Amino acid sequence: MSRVARRIKDEGVLKLIRRYLEAGLMGEGLMEVREQGTPQGGPLSPLLSNLLLDDLDRELEGRGHRFCRYADDCNIYVASKAAAEHAMARVTQFLEKKLKLKVNGDKSACARPWERKFLGYSLTWHRQAKLKIASTSLVRLQQRVREYLRAGRGRSLAGTIQKLNPLLRGWMSYFRWTEVKGVLEELDGWIRRKLRAVIWRHGKRSVTRARALMRKGLEEQRAWRSALNQRGAWWNAGASHMNSAYPKAYFDRLGLVSLMDSHRRWQASS
């Protein structure tokens, strides 16, 4: 509270912040006294973190470091491994001795910029580095798509796409600043393949699949050969007969959000 009072002079605001900090918390139906921390999900955490870590920003600026900080997540960029280890030791000492904060050693490291992530993003290894989506962010999206599709079994393809679109739209809105676009094309192709696997499973019987392929323009002989191949849904979803029958244009007509197309629109409007 003494640090807060350096910046905030209004006594009513100071009292409100103190009451937030002193508010109890519920644990297994019982009220417990709060000894440290702020109420989870409240508006106080970002305010206090910036008031407190403003001292860290000034310390890093004073040392001439290039850095990015968002709340308690911070990346510091230096020229060599030795400089990184020195900066890590000095910053850790500053945080723990002066600001009385504990540095999470498991999440902290001296590493190349492209080996680390920051707010879901990372950098390429090129001399003129480019902003890219971190690999963990890509894996997390794929996990969520799988969960959506698993939860939507039995739903129509149009219904599945309708449920999936808000996820894809929100994800692309957040990662619209990426400069590496090839991965977006790969994700688009992977999502369409997952949906083709859904279509294949919906067919269930070979005769149903063959007729569906013929309705989509495949020759009768090729449609029957494809329907009777005895391979699984994922293999067929990536095979030429399913790509011919259900191209990107088919999913565009159903309204499926394309990550690559969305990125192009973001670029054009910015």
The first and second tokens of residue 29, run together, are 């139906």
Residue 156: strand, helix, or coil: coil
Average pLDDT per consecutive 10 residues, the chain (270 residues; last block may be shorter): 87 90 75 73 82 91 92 90 94 92 90 92 91 95 94 87 95 95 95 96 93 95 94 95 96 96 88
The tally of CA atoms less than 13 A away on the side-chain side of residue 261 is 12
Locus of tokens 């910015």: 270
* Cβ atoms within 10 Å of 115's Cβ, excluding its own: 10
Strand partners, 25: 32
* pLDDT score, position 211: 95
* pLDDT score, position 124: 93
* pLDDT score, position 180: 93
Amino acid at 63: R
Q: What is the DSSP letter of 114?
A: G
- The residue among 264, 267, 256 whose CA lies nearest residue 168 is 256
CA atoms of 88 and 84, how far apart (whole Å): 6
